[in-house]
């Protein structure tokens, strides 16, 4: 960070005095970032190890609660919410398209380690290691449940957020996850007041419903859900037979434990097959529609890019030279850049948005189609089951299950 600041300070050459003035030599105390980065990774592995041990070995919630406290204190307030696994998505995507960008190893590890753990053990990162989730969990008192249709519709938002974050990172536009982070201002005790208020609203909502940011906004949680749904070792509410007492279902803060369900209307095999076929006919139509819409809207989306905004400013000034010159346009002319260079850069950005925007639209259509299919599927459940993709591995269900209490008393 200090090297980055020095680079900005030394961006422009010093004035050349004719008096023979000699500039003094400055020395800066640069903090040992390597030491802190190493400590961050060690803490991440250590806390995730504790959560995994508590889930699979001890089958108890208490160590996860204390892990949450440590995570909020260290990753949240002490480290200011950075390095952040959630925002690392953008760094990894940006490294694929920008040759001059060197992806920090600590950022790559913060991106990969929770994914690896999710594939092995489920979303143990979300359980108490992520300071954003831990802060919401700490204030949670009551869980008012939303209907499956409403929660299903809201759960599409993290996927759309993830796709847009990748789009803007791949087009070298901006890191929108970091720009609109609702909890950084709280952890750093200052910042954009709009985002601080938004974060406070999310915490207020967390009192009455479990983790609204994690469930309906977090793009990294959406990514982890893919690996968690196919994890090698899966969490079991109890090792004994389920007695369908509903206590685990009521205790789950994110409503990821599905209740027993019997189809009220029996469906013939032919009807079921035809319904599934109709879903898969609609799915490619949604993919194509999303791709076309994003392609058509790529020009408007590209206005967020600095080169596109600068191009419009310069074209407006060239059309009206007597008009007011903006600071950006003045800097453009003072740097000696040509309009031809700017036009080429502008066209490259437009092309990037058309390509990546089309892919992003197709992915959006795919997400919406798969979500509709998931909401429409009918499957008989005879006992309470965990939806592993959405389970945050908080272990609250362990404490409420009477079968677990019987095991602990033995």
* Residue 4 predicted with pLDDT over 50: no
Cβ neighbors of 199 (< 8 A, separation 6 or more) are 182, 183, 185, 186
pLDDT band, residue 30 (cuts 50/70/90) = low
Question: What was the pLDDT predicted at 263?
Answer: 53
Helix (H, G, I), strand (E, B) or coil at 27: coil
For the chain, the average pLDDT equals 88
* Residue 334 predicted with pLDDT over 80: yes
Interatomic CA distance for residues 77 and 67, integer angstroms: 15
User: Range with the lowest mean pLDDT among 50-64, 78-92, 175-189, 256-270?
Assistant: 256-270
Model confidence over 233-243: pLDDT tens digits?
998 888 888 88
Chain mean position to CA 399: 29
Question: What was the pLDDT predicted at 104?
Answer: 93
Question: In a 10 Å sphere around its CB, with 0-12 CB exposed, 13-18 middle and 19+ buried, how is residue 60 labelled?
Answer: middle
Question: What was the pLDDT predicted at 25?
Answer: 61
Question: What was the pLDDT predicted at 1?
Answer: 45
* 258, containing H or E segment: strand 257-258
Interatomic CA distance for residues 295 and 353, integer angstroms: 8
Question: What was the pLDDT predicted at 5?
Answer: 44
Spell out the alpha helix ranges (H) of 122-254: 124, 131-139, 148-154, 157-170, 176-179, 184-187, 193-208, 212-216, 219-228, 247-251
Cβ neighbors of 93 (< 8 A, separation 6 or more) are 165, 166, 169, 170
Question: What was the pLDDT predicted at 7?
Answer: 44
- CB count within 10 Å of CB 48 equals 21
In angstroms, the Cα distances linking 293 to 286, 353, 360 are: 10, 13, 10
Model confidence over 371-406: pLDDT tens digits?
888 777 766 778 888 999 999 999 999 888 888 876
Question: In a 10 Å sphere around its CB, with 0-12 CB exposed, 13-18 middle and 19+ buried, how is residue 265 labelled?
Answer: exposed
pLDDT band, residue 9 (cuts 50/70/90) = very low
- CB count within 10 Å of CB 307 equals 18
Sort strands 385-386 and 257-258 into parallel, antiparallel or unpaired: antiparallel
Q: Considering all CA atoms of the chain, what is the largest pairwise distance in Å, rounded to the nearest integer?
A: 95
Question: What was the pLDDT predicted at 34?
Answer: 86
Query: Contact, 401 vs 409, CB < 8 A?
Result: no
- CB count within 10 Å of CB 319 equals 8
Interatomic CA distance for residues 274 and 279, integer angstroms: 9
Question: What was the pLDDT predicted at 304?
Answer: 94
* Residue 15 predicted with pLDDT over 60: no
Domain boundaries, the chain: 34-262+384-409, 269-375
Chain mean position to CA 14: 42
Question: Phi and psi for 393 in degrees, rounded to 5?
Answer: 55, 40
Mean pLDDT value of segment 160-181: 96
Tokens describing residue 278: 């109709």
* Residue 173 predicted with pLDDT over 80: yes
pLDDT band, residue 21 (cuts 50/70/90) = low
DSSP state of 302: G
Mean pLDDT value of segment 60-74: 95
Question: What was the pLDDT predicted at 410?
Answer: 56
Model confidence over 108-151: pLDDT tens digits?
999 999 999 999 999 999 999 999 999 999 999 988 888 878 88
pLDDT band, residue 83 (cuts 50/70/90) = confident
Tokens describing residue 144: 């008012």
Looking at per-residue confidence, does 242 or 341 come out higher?
341
List, in sequence order, every residue forming a beta bridge with 386; answer none if it has no partner: 257
Query: Contact, 236 vs 395, CB < 8 A?
Result: no
pLDDT band, residue 254 (cuts 50/70/90) = very high
Closest residue by Cα to residue 60 from 394, 294, 402, 323: 394
Closest residue by Cα to residue 40 from 84, 10, 4: 84
Query: Contact, 51 vs 63, CB < 8 A?
Result: yes
Interatomic CA distance for residues 169 and 166, integer angstroms: 5
Interatomic CA distance for residues 314 and 231, integer angstroms: 53
* Residue 409 predicted with pLDDT over 90: no
State percent of the chain over pLDDT 90: 62
User: Range with the lowest mean pLDDT among 32-46, 122-136, 276-290, 367-381?
Assistant: 367-381
- CB count within 10 Å of CB 244 equals 13
Helix (H, G, I), strand (E, B) or coil at 146: coil
* Residue 66 predicted with pLDDT over 70: yes
List, in sequence order, every residue forming a beta bridge with 381; answer none if it has no partner: 261
* Residue 28 predicted with pLDDT over 90: no
Tokens describing residue 266: 């029996």
Residue in the structure block whose two tokens are 């909401």: 375
Mean pLDDT value of segment 241-260: 87
């Amino acid at each position: 960070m200090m090297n980055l600041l020095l680079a900005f300070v030394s961006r422009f050459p010093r004035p050349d005095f004719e008096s023979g003035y000699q500039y003094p030599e400055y020395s800066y105390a640069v903090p040992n970032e390597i030491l802190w980065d190493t400590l961050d990774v060690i803490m991440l592995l250590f806390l995730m190890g504790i959560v995994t041990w508590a889930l699979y070995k001890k089958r108890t919630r208490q160590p996860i609660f204390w892990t949450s406290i440590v995570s909020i204190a260290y990753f949240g307030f002490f480290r200011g919410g950075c390095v952040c696994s959630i925002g690392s998505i953008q760094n990894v995507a940006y490294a694929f398209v920008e040759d001059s960008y060197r992806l920090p190893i600590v950022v790559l590890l913060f991106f990969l380690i929770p994914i690896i753990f999710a594939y092995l053990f489920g979303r143990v990162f979300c359980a108490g290691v992520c300071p954003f989730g831990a802060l919401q969990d700490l204030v949670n008192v009551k869980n008012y449940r939303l209907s499956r249709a409403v929660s299903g519709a809201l759960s599409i938002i993290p996927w759309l957020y993830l796709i847009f974050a990748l789009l803007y990172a791949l087009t070298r536009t901006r890191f929108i996850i970091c720009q609109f982070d609702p909890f950084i201002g709280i952890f750093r005790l200052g910042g954009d007041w709009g985002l601080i208020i938004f974060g406070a609203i999310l915490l207020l909502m967390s009192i009455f419903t479990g983790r609204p940011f994690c469930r309906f906004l977090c793009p990294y949680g959406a990514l982890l859900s893919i690996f968690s749904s196919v994890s090698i070792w899966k969490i079991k509410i109890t090792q004994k037979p389920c007695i369908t007492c509903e206590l685990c279902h009521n205790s789950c803060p994110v409503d990821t434990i599905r209740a027993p369900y019997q189809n009220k209307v029996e469906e013939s095999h032919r009807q079921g097959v035809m319904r599934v076929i109709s879903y898969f006919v609609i799915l490619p139509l949604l993919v194509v529609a999303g791709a076309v819409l994003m392609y058509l809207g790529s020009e408007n989306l590209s206005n967020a890019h600095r080169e596109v905004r600068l191009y419009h400013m310069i074209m407006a000034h060239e059309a009206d030279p007597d008009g007011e010159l903006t600071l950006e346009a003045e800097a453009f002319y003072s740097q000696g850049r040509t309009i031809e260079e700017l036009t080429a850069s502008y066209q490259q950005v437009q092309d990037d948005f058309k390509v990546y925007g089309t892919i992003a639209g197709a992915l959006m259509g795919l997400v919406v189609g798969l979500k509709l299919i998931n909401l429409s599927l009918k499957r008989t459940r005879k006992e309470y089951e965990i939806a592993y993709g959405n389970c945050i591995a908080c272990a609250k269900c362990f404490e409420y299950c009477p079968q677990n209490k019987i095991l602990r008393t033995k």
